[in-house]
Structure 1
């Protein structure tokens, strides 16, 4: 299936090289395919060098996920250790200890290797079966941005519905309770969850692009990686426990942010959405004091109305 990732000229160029050296293949691609940018050359050389598309995508996906997840979590670990930033901590008296962060990281890593890795390996054959492209050149930045915004909106709705469901009775005790081990979350806790929850909520992240390509036949693996990258950043930052004056929610009022999700962990109810605030507002599940006050006032008014009847 290597022929699907590049032009006929690109394959012909490399086929006569008979090299097992990735950098030699990269040099040949750069020499005869000047229309490709550096990222596209690296990408094409990887698939041509691997000679196994499922393996190439599996390795690339797993490494990308681990680098982004733990790489983005590291700054929050450092921030927790610097007193200057503590004034921005939402729950100021609940900073994680090093042991808590270490234990959390080890459990998350275990989950990545045992629960997420098989799903990552199955992604390529499933997504390509439905029509996902992984060739070069990459799609335009405009197309990628539009698709990623759509994925954020769809996934937010999925997350809201199933996250809210996981807070009911048996589902909470048997599945979701593990994620609420820490009432004051920190970056690493974004994927600190039971295997069932990881698969259930993770389907919104991975399944949304698969459904998209099923109906549109228009999705590139590079767009998928960009989507996963931004969704991981969002999840980790929402669990960071810090709300800065320069946080994204300051500039985008409907963006959920850390203050939104931190309150969910503190109160154990409300603020169920992942990326945006509008579904909690529409369905009256906001956990902020102002929303709670309005609900109490509304309930009291209804009680008074019944008494006067």
Structure 2
């Protein structure tokens, strides 16, 4: 988008209002595009709301596409955590419809209302220059840590009685999740768990009065990548949890869907470890490691692991029934 062309289209008065004191020559390419977007749309409120929603949709479905392709290629099955359960095209389409419904009924209004509220407590939107990575890094770290703990608490609440039966049960439709299923959930759950994603930036902005929506966009992009990858169903040797041991990743969250219990956090493993809500998961990983050591051949190990998965899933169905009926069960 050409900034000069935008001005030539008759937006000079808006430019004077928003950027009259800005030295364009000092801006980098991205910052000039940022200015051009706001001038082109012609209304800062609409420009920010539209950019926010488009970012969410493009990042979400853009990140899902590689996982859809991977699911369609048998070569990648050796890295799939539950290789016998590959989503069908029909399942992916049904999932997509529910996700789009939530996006337009819950997330669109929330996204559109977020920035006026955040601006009211000090967040910048159209302003340039954009924040440096040194400024953004601690802000994004705060958002990750806040959201992870919020999700840890709220997710466990969603596994109890009526909240599970009437809300969270939809998300557990797939015992072997896939990328698109990251936001496959009841609209109420989208609102509840989504609160953790937007409350972090709001709290930071309220107390620090120093936050730019560009930082929020980086945070949302990383959060969507985390959620989709955690639901991908694949554990590659280069997956992030093998580099950062405290990162959860697909290997951690896939167990939650398979066994129904344990592993309630999103990004990190520490809350589950501290509160003991990863006991069954750690027992499962230990049994897998023991079977691998004892198996005489890869085929024998695959068969043994398959039987163990079936056992864990049966136990998970029992735990799910107890949660749905309001019964009490440790770590559920």
Q: TM-score range, shorter-chain basis? A: 0.7 to 0.9
2:63 aligns with 72
Q: State which drifts further: 33-42 or 285-294.
A: 285-294
What is the RMSD of the two structures over their aligned residues, measured on CA atoms? 2.6
C-alpha deviations, 1:81-138, integer Å up to 9, x for none?
Answer: 1111110000111110011001101110111111111111111210100110121001
Contact 2:79 2:235 in 1 (8 A): yes
CA distance in 2, matches of 1:208, 1:16: 36
CA distance in 1, matches of 2:277, 2:7: 62
1:7 aligns with none
1:149 aligns with 141
CA distance in 2, matches of 1:108, 1:14: 38
CA distance in 2, matches of 1:58, 1:284: 41
2:34 aligns with 43
1:47 deviates by: 1.1
Q: Tell me whether 1:136 sits opposite 2:124 in the alignment.
A: no
Residue pairs, 1:1-309, within 5 angstroms = 17=8, 19=10, 33-134=24-125, 135-286=127-278, 287-290=280-283
Instruction: Tell me the secondary structure at the aligned position of residue 124 of structure 2.
Output: coil
**Normalised by the size of structure 1, how large is the TM-score?**
0.85
Aligned residues: 278
Pair 256,292 (structure 1): closer, same or farther in 2 beyond 3 Å? closer
1:290 deviates by: 2.2
Pair 16,235 (structure 1): closer, same or farther in 2 beyond 3 Å? closer
1:50 deviates by: 1.9
Pair 17,172 (structure 1): closer, same or farther in 2 beyond 3 Å? same
Runs (5+) with no aligned partner, structure 1: 1-10, 295-309
C-alpha deviations, 1:243-283, integer Å up to 9, x for none?
Answer: 00000000000000001100000011110000000000000
C-alpha deviations, 1:27-79, integer Å up to 9, x for none?
Answer: x99xx612111111111111122221111111101111000000000000000
Pair 256,16 (structure 1): closer, same or farther in 2 beyond 3 Å? closer
CA distance in 2, matches of 1:208, 1:190: 20
Instruction: Tell me the secondary structure at the aligned position of residue 137 of structure 1.
Output: coil
2:297 aligns with none
Contact 2:158 2:167 in 1 (8 A): yes
CA distance in 2, matches of 1:240, 1:208: 25
Runs (5+) with no aligned partner, structure 2: 288-332
Instruction: Tell me the secondary structure at the aligned position of residue 110 of structure 2.
Output: helix
Pair 55,67 (structure 1): closer, same or farther in 2 beyond 3 Å? same
